[in-house]
Amino acid sequence: MDPRRGPLAVPKVRRVGFFTSIEPSPETPRPNRSLSGPAEAITSSSPLSDSPSGQFISPVQIPPSRHHSDNLASRAAPVPVPGPSAFRRQLANDRALHVGSYNPVDSLLGTSPPSSNGEVSEDSGSLFGFQRSDSAKLSASFPNGGFDMTMRVRAPQESEAKVAIASTSDGRKKNVEASAGEGESVAAKPRKEKETKSLKEKTSKAERRAIQEAQRAAKASAKGEGSKRAGESSRPKPSKPAKQPQPKKEAPQVTSSVSEKRAVSVEKERRMDVPQTQMQYDDKSRVDKAKRRSVVEQTESKNKVELFLHLPQYERGNQLPNLSSNIFSLDTIHHAVYKVGLQHLAGDISGDNARCIAMLHAFQEAINDYTTPPMKDLTMDLTAKINGYVSFLIECRPLSMSMGNAIRFLKNQIRKLPVDLSEPEAKASLCSEIGRFIDEKILLADKVIVQHAVTKIRDGEVLLTYGFSCVVEMILLYAHEIGRKFRVVIVDSRPNLEGQKLLRRLVTRGLDCTYTHINAVSYIMGEVTRVFLGASSIFSNGTLYSKVGTACVAMVANAFSVPVIVCCEAYKFHERVLLDSICSNELGDPDAIANVPLRNNKKHSKTMDNNKNLQFLNLMYDSTPAEYISMIVTDYGMIPPTSIPVIVREYRREDLLL
């Protein structure tokens, strides 16, 4: 998320850069905050704190209450990080430029009535208001003295501001004054501006990025300590001059280890509350930490593909005996959950629905056996317990999106439990809620989907499906049952060959089937009239996240203008947006693709094992862009992929969101 915010902030900064008149507005909030906030905050806004505005304001005492609110507000609404421009400014290290650039704003805002404390805190909820009120405040402080005259006490300055509000004529007078102040700097301005511009061009993208990162880290650390020190922040001035030189030195050397380390630690802290599913496995410290806590001992495979380092990849097969031996020694994990975890690990349960149902049943059992420890709250303790189970399951195998949704549902149910409910009642209600979820959102949803999808199967059609999806199987069987005459093409792929299971089931029921591997999909697509696909998840932008190979089938179908129908229960919809299949994916056993069964190639694989230049990538999922999907059949009917957000917004709010 953070890297995304950076570029967003840039245009704003650019605009500021060109229109120098508005320059102070985005950056002024920061120095103010650093003032109010802890010493760290000052070091944090490293490239900025030496900016002249910060210096100019610093002597002016501003009532603590206001800072406090500012500070809070800044935490609530993130202020754009003026990355490049801050750097540029810092490099330029020039004060006159800033002072010069203030004045037009002063003249504009000097007469506006902004700077009451309450207003600031209110306004600051929105970014714009925040900037504006601050610049207005600046304008109040600036007209009554040039850059060197700001060394004033707070009280008179404030009264002056009030006067400015009261009488416009007075304000105009001040504007004149201000423009006089500007006159001094104006000569220096154009030259400096040129300089800064060229400097800006010189800073490379990487550098800018690094700066942003450093700023972010600093900001976060400030955040962490801000709350602690907020109380004593009334007089932060003395600390400031001492701290100021430090960032000045540090910021340009963006690669300095200090800032990097801080960034890591901060990031760690910040992510503590983020669900574990999103752990980045290329982050060493976090992985180590996770390992220490983990129940399952997995050995990481050595030869990993560069692009997918952030995903966990383990050697298969060696942890299972180990785990099953100490099944009795582990009392933190409920045995039902343990069993499900092992089944996931061994691959005994596959398929999203099956995994999700198994997990929910295990939770049901665990909740049934649960007793609240003395002196503890059921809501809190049970949530913690569930969290423990979930992290165990994740260690066994990364959760699918649908399981994540189900867990969110359960946690939300726990949170929503009435306080006055006795423990057995609470447990019973939770269990019945879980049962209801399974029945309504999964089993019944499947039935509805089948009813909808069957209307799209006419006589004489050739349907293609990829891999194994239980909903698609149900649809095909039902359509056969009600007497539709159609043919099925099952496309399969190594290494799982799940399609064979489907093929076996369909053929025994008397359906006309063709079985082929994905290599032949472009040949077979010519005779196909409909493609039915299952889904692991569908994201808000309509991207389908499903078994690897699905995207290929969908694209070929699209090229042949064959409609692609995706069957997916609504509980699998995810409100996030997915753009590629790299960020979130799962790595399977690399040996599965290295070894081809029925071929005596053991010797061959031995030589491959030690080869540093050879990496096996066994991706489990891929993402299909929305434009290849003609229709999504869900329990709410048949919808286009563009309507996923509507379903998520309208129907899942009560289940999943806070």
Partner 1 sequence: MWRRSASFILDDERRRTSNSPPMADNTTRAPFQNPDAISAYYQTRAAHHGVITSDWLAQAQAAVGGGVSGEENSDSSVSELGKDKSFNVIEEFNGWRKQPDLAEAVAAIRALAAVIRASEASTMMELEIELKKASDTLKSWDKTSISLTAGCDLFIRYVTRTSALEYEDFNSAKSRLLERAEKFGEISCKARKIIAMLSQDFIFDGCTILVHGLSRVVLEILKTAAQNNKLFRVLCTEGRPDGTGVLLSNELSKLDIPVKLLLDSAVAYSMDEVDMVFVGADGVVESGGIINMMGTYQIALVAHSMNKPVYVAAESYKFARLYPLDQKDMAPALRPIEFGVKIPAKVEVEMSARDYTPPQYLTLLFTDLGVLSPSVVSDELIQLYL
The DSSP string of 118-129 is HHHHHHTTSHHH
Nearest to 524 by CA among 480, 485, 569, 490: 490
For residues 273 and 459, which CB has a smaller minimum distance to partner 1 in the complex? 459
Tell how strand 564-567 and strand 631-634 pair up: parallel
- How buried is 346 (Cβ within 10 angstroms: 0-12 exposed, 13-18 middle, 19+ buried)? middle
Q: Which stretch binds partner 1 (CB under 8 A): 17-25, 225-233, 244-252, 644-652?
A: 644-652
CB of residue 513 vs partner 1: minimum separation in angstroms? 17
CB of residue 529 vs partner 1: minimum separation in angstroms? 4
Q: What is the DSSP letter of 587?
A: B
CB of residue 564 vs partner 1: minimum separation in angstroms? 9
Residue 527 in the binding site for partner 1 (CB under 8 A):
yes
For residues 69 and 541, which CB has a smaller minimum distance to partner 1 in the complex? 541
- Give the Cα separation of 559 and 628 in Å (integer): 9
3 state SS of 233: coil
Residue 631 in the binding site for partner 1 (CB under 8 A):
yes
CB of residue 444 vs partner 1: minimum separation in angstroms? 15
Give the x-and-dash track for 565-594 against partner 1 (CB under 8 A).
Answer: x-----------------------------
- Give the Cα separation of 140 and 108 in Å (integer): 11
The DSSP string of 365-422 is HHHHT--PPTT--HHHHHHHHHHHHHHHHHHHSPPPHHHHHHHHHHHHHHHHS-TT--
Q: Which of 238, 321, 483, 526 binds partner 1 (CB under 8 A)?
A: 526
Q: Verify cis geometry, omega within 30 degrees of 0, for the bond prior to 238.
A: no
For residues 54 and 542, which CB has a smaller minimum distance to partner 1 in the complex? 542
Unique residue bearing structure tokens 């509350």: 273
Residue 510 in the binding site for partner 1 (CB under 8 A):
no
270 is written with which tokens? Answer: 């910040």
> Are 240 and 42 spatial neighbours (Cβ–Cβ below 8 Å)?
yes
CB of residue 461 vs partner 1: minimum separation in angstroms? 5
CB of residue 264 vs partner 1: minimum separation in angstroms? 42
CB of residue 567 vs partner 1: minimum separation in angstroms? 13
Residue 530 in the binding site for partner 1 (CB under 8 A):
yes
Residue 347 in the binding site for partner 1 (CB under 8 A):
no
Q: Which of 636, 648, 652, 656 binds partner 1 (CB under 8 A)?
A: 636
Site size for partner 1, by CB under 8 A?
A: 25
For residues 338 and 466, which CB has a smaller minimum distance to partner 1 in the complex? 466
Q: Which of 647, 648, 652, 656 binds partner 1 (CB under 8 A)?
A: 647
CB of residue 455 vs partner 1: minimum separation in angstroms? 9
Residue 650 in the binding site for partner 1 (CB under 8 A):
yes
Q: Which of 207, 507, 643, 655 binds partner 1 (CB under 8 A)?
A: 643
Q: What is the DSSP letter of 429?
A: H
Give the contacts of 195 (CB within 8 A, at least 6 positions apart).
92
CB of residue 479 vs partner 1: minimum separation in angstroms? 15
Q: Which of 256, 383, 563, 608 binds partner 1 (CB under 8 A)?
A: 563
- Give the Cα separation of 168 and 172 in Å (integer): 6
Which residues ranging from 442 to 461 are in contact with partner 1 (CB under 8 A)?
456, 458-461
Q: Which of 180, 289, 640, 653 binds partner 1 (CB under 8 A)?
A: 640
Unique residue bearing structure tokens 């089993």: 443
- Give the Cα separation of 349 and 358 in Å (integer): 8
3 state SS of 514: strand
Q: Which of 153, 380, 646, 657 binds partner 1 (CB under 8 A)?
A: 646
The DSSP string of 298-328 is -PBPS---GGGTTS--B-SSSSHHHHHHTTT
Residue 543 in the binding site for partner 1 (CB under 8 A):
no
CB of residue 143 vs partner 1: minimum separation in angstroms? 45
> Are 611 and 546 spatial neighbours (Cβ–Cβ below 8 Å)?
no
- Give the Cα separation of 257 and 192 in Å (integer): 32
Residue 630 in the binding site for partner 1 (CB under 8 A):
yes
Q: Which of 412, 617, 638, 655 binds partner 1 (CB under 8 A)?
A: 638
Query: Which residues of this chain interact with partner 1, rule CB under 8 A?
Result: 456, 458-462, 526-527, 529-530, 563, 565, 630-631, 636-640, 642-643, 646-647, 650-651
